[in-house]
Amino acid sequence: MKWRIISRELHTGPTNMGIDEALAGMIAAEKSPPTLRFYAWNPPGVSIGYFQRLRDCVKTEKCNKMGMDYVRRMSGGGTTFHGAELAYSILAPGYMFPKYAEDAFMLLCRQAVTALASVKINAEYMPIDQIVCGEKRIGWNAVTYRGGAIIFQGSIFHDLDYESMAAATGSTPAKIREALTCAKELSSATMNDIEAALQNGFIGEKNARNGTLTRDELRKAEELSEKYAGREWNFLL
Protein backbone atom coordinates (compact mmCIF):
# COMPACT_ATOMS: atom_id res chain seq x y z
CA MET A 1 0.00 0.00 0.00
CA LYS A 2 1.36 3.41 -0.97
CA TRP A 3 2.02 5.83 1.89
CA ARG A 4 1.22 9.53 1.66
CA ILE A 5 3.61 11.96 3.29
CA ILE A 6 2.39 15.44 4.17
CA SER A 7 5.14 17.95 4.90
CA ARG A 8 4.98 20.25 7.89
CA GLU A 9 1.80 22.33 7.99
CA LEU A 10 0.60 24.84 10.57
CA HIS A 11 -2.87 24.45 12.04
CA THR A 12 -4.63 25.31 15.29
CA GLY A 13 -4.64 22.63 17.99
CA PRO A 14 -8.32 21.71 17.45
CA THR A 15 -7.77 21.48 13.68
CA ASN A 16 -4.75 19.23 14.14
CA MET A 17 -6.82 16.91 16.33
CA GLY A 18 -9.70 17.08 13.85
CA ILE A 19 -7.39 16.14 10.97
CA ASP A 20 -6.10 13.07 12.81
CA GLU A 21 -9.59 11.87 13.70
CA ALA A 22 -10.88 12.53 10.18
CA LEU A 23 -7.99 10.66 8.58
CA ALA A 24 -8.31 7.73 10.99
CA GLY A 25 -11.99 7.37 10.07
CA MET A 26 -11.35 7.63 6.34
CA ILE A 27 -8.41 5.23 6.47
CA ALA A 28 -10.52 2.71 8.41
CA ALA A 29 -13.17 3.10 5.69
CA GLU A 30 -10.47 2.60 3.02
CA LYS A 31 -11.14 6.08 1.60
CA SER A 32 -7.71 7.51 2.46
CA PRO A 33 -4.21 6.04 2.20
CA PRO A 34 -1.92 5.40 5.18
CA THR A 35 -0.44 8.79 6.00
CA LEU A 36 2.56 10.24 7.79
CA ARG A 37 1.93 13.90 8.37
CA PHE A 38 4.14 16.53 9.94
CA TYR A 39 2.70 19.62 11.52
CA ALA A 40 2.89 22.22 14.26
CA TRP A 41 0.40 24.19 16.29
CA ASN A 42 -0.28 27.80 15.46
CA PRO A 43 -0.93 29.40 17.91
CA PRO A 44 1.11 27.35 20.41
CA GLY A 45 -0.82 25.38 22.97
CA VAL A 46 -1.13 22.52 25.40
CA SER A 47 -2.72 19.14 24.86
CA ILE A 48 -3.82 16.69 27.51
CA GLY A 49 -4.46 12.96 27.32
CA TYR A 50 -7.98 11.58 26.87
CA PHE A 51 -8.23 10.56 30.53
CA GLN A 52 -6.75 13.71 32.04
CA ARG A 53 -8.74 16.52 33.60
CA LEU A 54 -8.14 19.87 31.96
CA ARG A 55 -8.70 21.67 35.26
CA ASP A 56 -5.91 19.62 36.90
CA CYS A 57 -3.36 19.97 34.10
CA VAL A 58 -3.78 23.33 32.41
CA LYS A 59 -4.11 26.91 33.59
CA THR A 60 -6.82 27.73 31.09
CA GLU A 61 -7.20 31.40 32.06
CA LYS A 62 -3.46 31.98 31.62
CA CYS A 63 -3.62 30.21 28.24
CA ASN A 64 -6.51 32.43 27.18
CA LYS A 65 -4.52 35.52 28.16
CA MET A 66 -1.42 34.29 26.32
CA GLY A 67 -3.47 33.36 23.23
CA MET A 68 -2.66 29.66 23.56
CA ASP A 69 -4.90 26.75 22.58
CA TYR A 70 -5.68 23.89 24.94
CA VAL A 71 -7.13 20.63 23.69
CA ARG A 72 -7.95 17.22 25.06
CA ARG A 73 -6.61 14.59 22.68
CA MET A 74 -8.34 11.47 21.38
CA SER A 75 -5.28 9.51 22.59
CA GLY A 76 -4.28 8.76 26.16
CA GLY A 77 -0.99 9.78 27.73
CA GLY A 78 0.07 12.97 29.42
CA THR A 79 0.13 16.72 29.10
CA THR A 80 2.41 18.24 26.51
CA PHE A 81 3.29 21.65 25.14
CA HIS A 82 3.06 22.45 21.43
CA GLY A 83 5.35 25.27 20.35
CA ALA A 84 8.48 25.13 18.22
CA GLU A 85 8.21 21.41 17.64
CA LEU A 86 8.05 18.97 14.79
CA ALA A 87 4.84 17.11 15.45
CA TYR A 88 3.99 13.95 13.56
CA SER A 89 1.03 11.65 13.20
CA ILE A 90 1.12 8.20 11.70
CA LEU A 91 -2.35 7.15 10.59
CA ALA A 92 -2.76 3.73 9.03
CA PRO A 93 -4.88 0.60 8.99
CA GLY A 94 -4.39 -1.14 12.32
CA TYR A 95 -3.23 -4.38 10.71
CA MET A 96 -0.07 -2.64 9.47
CA PHE A 97 1.16 -2.11 13.04
CA PRO A 98 1.33 -4.04 16.30
CA LYS A 99 -2.03 -4.66 17.94
CA TYR A 100 -1.04 -3.46 21.39
CA ALA A 101 0.02 0.05 22.39
CA GLU A 102 3.19 -1.07 24.17
CA ASP A 103 4.43 -2.88 21.06
CA ALA A 104 3.51 0.01 18.78
CA PHE A 105 5.40 2.42 21.05
CA MET A 106 8.45 0.20 21.04
CA LEU A 107 8.51 -0.06 17.26
CA LEU A 108 7.81 3.58 16.43
CA CYS A 109 9.83 5.21 19.20
CA ARG A 110 12.84 3.09 18.24
CA GLN A 111 12.44 4.20 14.63
CA ALA A 112 12.39 7.81 15.85
CA VAL A 113 15.52 7.20 17.95
CA THR A 114 17.36 5.83 14.90
CA ALA A 115 16.19 8.86 12.90
CA LEU A 116 17.47 11.26 15.56
CA ALA A 117 20.86 9.54 15.58
CA SER A 118 21.18 10.38 11.88
CA VAL A 119 21.02 14.09 12.76
CA LYS A 120 23.49 13.67 15.63
CA ILE A 121 20.95 13.61 18.45
CA ASN A 122 21.68 10.72 20.79
CA ALA A 123 18.36 9.59 22.16
CA GLU A 124 17.01 6.43 23.73
CA TYR A 125 13.61 4.81 23.93
CA MET A 126 12.28 4.59 27.47
CA PRO A 127 9.15 2.44 27.84
CA ILE A 128 6.39 2.85 27.56
CA ASP A 129 6.12 6.04 25.51
CA GLN A 130 9.19 8.22 25.98
CA ILE A 131 12.17 9.28 23.90
CA VAL A 132 14.88 10.65 26.15
CA CYS A 133 18.27 12.29 25.83
CA GLY A 134 20.11 11.59 29.05
CA GLU A 135 17.33 11.83 31.56
CA LYS A 136 15.30 14.45 29.74
CA ARG A 137 12.46 13.94 27.32
CA ILE A 138 12.92 15.43 23.86
CA GLY A 139 9.34 15.01 22.75
CA TRP A 140 6.14 13.15 23.47
CA ASN A 141 4.25 10.23 22.01
CA ALA A 142 0.77 8.81 22.30
CA VAL A 143 -1.13 6.07 20.55
CA THR A 144 -4.67 4.92 20.13
CA TYR A 145 -6.69 2.67 17.88
CA ARG A 146 -9.95 3.81 16.37
CA GLY A 147 -12.33 1.80 14.17
CA GLY A 148 -9.59 -0.32 12.67
CA ALA A 149 -6.98 2.43 12.32
CA ILE A 150 -3.93 3.22 14.41
CA ILE A 151 -3.25 6.82 15.39
CA PHE A 152 0.29 7.43 16.60
CA GLN A 153 0.88 11.05 17.58
CA GLY A 154 4.10 12.60 18.76
CA SER A 155 6.65 15.31 18.36
CA ILE A 156 10.28 16.25 18.71
CA PHE A 157 10.83 19.55 20.49
CA HIS A 158 12.99 21.85 18.39
CA ASP A 159 13.02 24.74 20.83
CA LEU A 160 11.31 25.20 24.18
CA ASP A 161 9.70 28.28 25.68
CA TYR A 162 10.12 27.31 29.32
CA GLU A 163 8.36 30.38 30.69
CA SER A 164 5.18 29.92 28.62
CA MET A 165 5.12 26.20 29.36
CA ALA A 166 5.39 26.87 33.07
CA ALA A 167 2.68 29.51 32.97
CA ALA A 168 0.36 27.28 30.93
CA THR A 169 0.73 24.26 33.20
CA GLY A 170 1.25 25.86 36.61
CA SER A 171 4.80 24.54 36.86
CA THR A 172 8.09 26.45 37.06
CA PRO A 173 10.64 26.98 34.26
CA ALA A 174 13.29 25.27 36.43
CA LYS A 175 11.19 22.12 36.87
CA ILE A 176 10.46 21.92 33.17
CA ARG A 177 14.18 22.41 32.37
CA GLU A 178 14.92 19.43 34.61
CA ALA A 179 12.47 17.24 32.71
CA LEU A 180 12.72 18.33 29.07
CA THR A 181 15.27 19.16 26.43
CA CYS A 182 15.09 20.07 22.75
CA ALA A 183 16.97 19.58 19.49
CA LYS A 184 18.34 23.12 19.55
CA GLU A 185 20.11 22.45 22.85
CA LEU A 186 21.76 19.28 21.51
CA SER A 187 22.49 19.70 17.82
CA SER A 188 22.52 22.06 14.88
CA ALA A 189 19.80 20.06 13.11
CA THR A 190 17.08 22.22 11.62
CA MET A 191 13.40 21.39 11.68
CA ASN A 192 13.72 20.32 8.01
CA ASP A 193 16.65 18.01 8.84
CA ILE A 194 14.60 16.36 11.57
CA GLU A 195 11.57 16.02 9.32
CA ALA A 196 13.66 14.32 6.62
CA ALA A 197 15.25 12.02 9.20
CA LEU A 198 11.92 11.04 10.76
CA GLN A 199 10.37 10.46 7.35
CA ASN A 200 13.21 8.12 6.55
CA GLY A 201 12.99 6.47 9.99
CA PHE A 202 9.23 5.85 9.89
CA ILE A 203 8.75 5.13 6.19
CA GLY A 204 12.21 3.93 5.09
CA GLU A 205 12.02 1.93 1.89
CA LYS A 206 8.22 1.73 1.90
CA ASN A 207 6.36 2.87 -1.19
CA ALA A 208 5.50 6.53 -0.58
CA ARG A 209 4.59 9.78 -2.32
CA ASN A 210 4.31 13.38 -1.17
CA GLY A 211 0.77 14.65 -0.91
CA THR A 212 -1.71 16.98 0.72
CA LEU A 213 -5.06 16.59 2.41
CA THR A 214 -7.99 16.14 0.04
CA ARG A 215 -11.02 18.41 0.05
CA ASP A 216 -13.15 15.67 1.68
CA GLU A 217 -10.56 15.11 4.38
CA LEU A 218 -10.34 18.84 5.10
CA ARG A 219 -14.12 19.19 5.26
CA LYS A 220 -14.39 16.31 7.75
CA ALA A 221 -11.44 17.68 9.75
CA GLU A 222 -13.07 21.10 9.99
CA GLU A 223 -16.30 19.54 11.27
CA LEU A 224 -14.40 17.56 13.90
CA SER A 225 -12.23 20.52 14.91
CA GLU A 226 -15.35 22.18 16.34
CA LYS A 227 -15.61 19.32 18.83
CA TYR A 228 -11.97 19.75 19.86
CA ALA A 229 -12.44 23.50 20.29
CA GLY A 230 -15.54 23.07 22.46
CA ARG A 231 -16.02 22.98 26.21
CA GLU A 232 -18.09 19.81 26.12
CA TRP A 233 -15.17 17.72 24.87
CA ASN A 234 -12.34 19.49 26.63
CA PHE A 235 -13.98 19.72 30.05
CA LEU A 236 -15.74 16.33 29.91
CA LEU A 237 -13.74 14.97 32.86
Rounded least distance, CB 104 to another protein, Å: 9
Q: Which of 52, 153, 164, 169 binds another protein (CB under 8 A)?
A: 52
Closer by beta carbon to another protein, 52 or else 199? 52
Instruction: Determine, following the binding rule CB under 8 A, whether residue 145 of this chain makes contact with another protein.
Output: yes
Q: Which amino acid is at 173?
A: P
Q: With binding defined as CB under 8 A, does residue 155 bind another protein?
A: no
Q: How far is CA 164 from CA 34, 101, 160, 235, in A?
A: 35, 31, 9, 22
Q: CA-CA distance, 128 to 43, in Å (whole number)? A: 29
Contact between 29 and another protein by CB under 8 A: the answer reads no
Position 74 contacts another protein (CB under 8 A)? yes
Which residue, 10 or 128, has its beta carbon nearer to another protein?
Answer: 128
Choose among 184, 195, 171, 199: nearest CA to 80.
171
Among 2, 29, 102, 170, binds another protein (CB under 8 A): 102
- Measured distance CA(18)–CA(130) in Å, rounded: 24
Q: Are 14 and 42 a contacting pair, CB within 8 Å?
A: no
Interface residues toward another protein, by CB under 8 A = 49-53, 56, 74-79, 99-102, 105, 127-129, 142-146, 237
